[in-house]
Amino acid sequence: MDEAAPIPEQPDNRAEQSLVWLTTHWAFWRPTPLRHLLAALVLALLVGGVTALVYLTGGIQYVYSHSMYLPIVLAALLFGWRGGLALALVGGVALGPFMPIDVDAGQMQSPLNWIYRALLFSLIGVALGLGVGYLKKQLHMARWLAFHEPLTGLPNRLQLEQGLLTFAGTDMGSPALILIQLRNIEMIGRNFGYQTMDEVIKAAYHRIKVQLPEGCSAYLFWSDQIAAILPDNLLQDDAELPERIAGSLRTPVTVSGLAMHLEVQMGIVRGGVIEQSPMGLLQHASAALETGLKEGRELSLFIPGAADAEREVLGLLGQLREAIREGQLQLHYQPKVELASGRVIGAEALVRWRHPQRGLIPPGLFLPAAEETSLIHPLTEWVIGQALSDQVRLRECGLDLIVAVNVSPRNLQSKGFERYLRGQLAMPSVRPEMIELEVTESAFMGNIEEAILLLERVRELGVKIAVDDFGTGHSSLAYLHRLPLDTIKIDQAFVRDLGSHDGSLAVVRAAVMICEALGYKSVAEGIETEAALLELRESGVQVGQGYYYSRPLPFDDFVAWVERDLTRSAI
Ligand code: C2E
Ligand code: MG
Ligand code: MG
């Protein structure tokens, strides 16, 4: 079996730079008929000049005949091996039968002498021409590979960036960019093979290209994204173009008899919207694409400023790990009140970030993004550790309250988290039955059987489990009764709308009925008014939480609030 060719190492910097220079400049000699004619003329002059030089300096016996290598090398460089051979033969004959060895003595050369020289010239001309031809081919290949994606042969991101840069230097106005993501292309590759996937990408590319105005190009930006550049005024005149591109991709692509549907997402950025570098356009188009994806729109136009919030969140995420280490996070507690008696029975721990420059940052700014990453693990571990020690301090103040912590679905899926929880709950100071984990409904999505097993394992540790934001997620009544739960927290959206929407009251009552039937505790969050409180109490909700009672408070303020409340109820 043939051994696979070794993959060459990445060239060092200088070599790489020369390669880039060569690949971009080697084509300085573009063979046009006029250039051919000019080159042939120069070569003829050189041959004539060398012949005259040899004759005038006294004949072939002197060293000047070697000057003939110069036109031979030039001919091989410009015209390849055929040119090298032709010039070698002409030069060989010019210094051949008619050129004396010694002009003054009138002594001629022997045939063997000039024939050997002519053959040597030919050998050099052909060898050099072949070598140059090979090198040109290699450079051509290197240049092609630098600017194309090798498997599909489509123009790649480097070409796209060059296209944007050169666009800026033309008189076509400012460029607009349309970024088209083939969202299910990876899935096609996984299921039908990566060759089929490449064929689908090529077909999609050609469909897009056909829709573009003449002279505009499309490029493969990522393996699943195709970018098209066009003058902004063209897009302004033809606002339907993006829709037409999307439409052209709606017809399934057929590869090897299989019809494949494409799921498409498009981000558009108009030129001249804001001052932007050509590369900035790419970022903006990606941001528009992402926004469309989040908002469930197939086509989305970049709006300046829209990406700033996302950049801000990413910036915060970058600092989060250090913030946890340096103790910048803190927990605020919001009381949970038994509606019938008005007694405080617990508290929800809600994280806040005291940022050294930006002050107090609410969780809404960084938590949803952190939940998308593994950063949620150290964060939740810190929250649990802090909440457990706060609970001990509460007990020392004579307050025996159930403390609830929010746990992200991602935490629950992690074995490491389970181990951490087990370790924390095994500590002697901890009473697991006084801990509640609040989990949103999305944690039960996907594999429900697995979710049930997981929750059962966690619940066996002795903690309580609550479904948070009930009614807003995707909970299916079909499995609700199978989940090992203790509490259902009716989302604040329903509580807020109690006075204005009859539907909300119906949902609250239905949730209470479910809780009663399944033996769960019902909690309503977001109670802001007395009217809402009365309505909820009337509907049979057992526990309430909201600004009506108290906003989430720092630990000491919370303790003071509960103690004040106790005094009030005692009076
Ligand atoms: P959540 O768990 O549903 O928490 C209730 C949110 O509603 C809290 O917002 C709370 O301040 C707010 N709230 C309470 N009562 C009222 C009210 O009467 N009116 C209004 N308008 N709002 C009220 P917060 O603290 O900003 O937290 C937002 C979300 O962030 C939480 O929703 C929870 O999903 C998440 N979160 C907070 N802390 C943590 C944490 O430590 N870990 C995890 N994984 N998530 C957390
Ligand atoms: Mg909660
Ligand atoms: Mg909630």
- pLDDT class of 23 with cuts at 50, 70, 90: low
In this predicted model, which residue has the larger pLDDT, 530 or 22? Answer: 530
Give the pTM.
0.67
Distance CA 300, CA 294 (A): 10
User: Using a 6 Å cutoff on CB, does residue 334 contact ligand 1?
Assistant: yes
Enumerate residues 6+ apart whose C-beta is below 8 A from 193. Answer: none
The reply to whether domains 157-304 and 330-570 share a CATH topology is: no
- Other beta carbons less than 10 A from residue 550's beta carbon: 19
Choose which CATH entry (1.10.1050.10, 3.40.50.300, 3.40.50.720, 3.20.20.450) describes domain 330-570.
3.20.20.450
pLDDT higher than threshold 50 for residue 564: yes
Using one digit for the tens of pLDDT, what is the confidence trace for 518-546? 999 999 999 999 999 999 999 999 999 99
Ligand closest in space to the Cα of 367: 1
Name the nearest CA neighbour of 208 among 173, 243, 260: 243
- Other beta carbons less than 10 A from residue 467's beta carbon: 25
b/e per residue, 27-53, with b = 16+ CB within 10 A? Answer: eeeeeeeeeeeebbeebeebbeebbee
- Give the CATH class of 157-304: alpha beta
For atom 10 of ligand 1, the residue with the nearest CA is: 552
Distance CA 201, CA 152 (A): 8
How confident is the prediction for the chain on average, in pLDDT? 89
b/e per residue, 121-145, with b = 16+ CB within 10 A? Answer: bbebbbebbeebbeeeeebeeebee
Using one digit for the tens of pLDDT, what is the confidence trace for 73-111? 999 999 999 999 999 999 999 999 999 999 999 999 999
In this predicted model, which residue has the larger pLDDT, 13 or 546? Answer: 546
User: Using a 6 Å cutoff on CB, does residue 528 contact ligand 1?
Assistant: yes
**Using N-to-C axis directions, what is the helix angle for 376-396 and 555-570, rounded to 10°?**
40
Using one digit for the tens of pLDDT, what is the confidence trace for 226-285? 999 999 888 888 889 999 999 999 999 999 898 999 999 999 998 765 456 767 888 889
* Ligand 1 atom nearest to CA at 440: 34
Distance CA 46, CA 91 (A): 10
For atom 17 of ligand 1, the residue with the nearest CA is: 526
Give percent above pLDDT 90 in the chain.
66
* Ligand 1 atom nearest to CA at 411: 44
User: Using a 6 Å cutoff on CB, does residue 436 contact ligand 1?
Assistant: no
User: Using a 6 Å cutoff on CB, does residue 408 contact ligand 1?
Assistant: yes
- pLDDT class of 455 with cuts at 50, 70, 90: confident
Q: Domain ranges in the chain?
A: 31-146, 157-304, 330-570
Ligand closest in space to the Cα of 363: 1
User: Using a 6 Å cutoff on CB, does residue 411 contact ligand 1?
Assistant: no
Query: How many Å lie between the centroid of ligand 1 and the Cα of residue 380?
Result: 14
Enumerate residues 6+ apart whose C-beta is below 8 A from 24. Answer: 143
Please compute the mean of the pLDDT values over residues 387-403 and round it to a whole number. 95
Q: How far is CA 481 from CA 65, 89, 331, 466, in A?
A: 102, 96, 32, 13
Name the residue of 328, 348, 350 whose CB sits within 8 Å of the most ligand 1 atoms, as the mutation to test its pocket: 350
pLDDT for 414:
85
**At which residue do the structure tokens 């993501």 appear?**
181
For atom 30 of ligand 1, the residue with the nearest CA is: 363
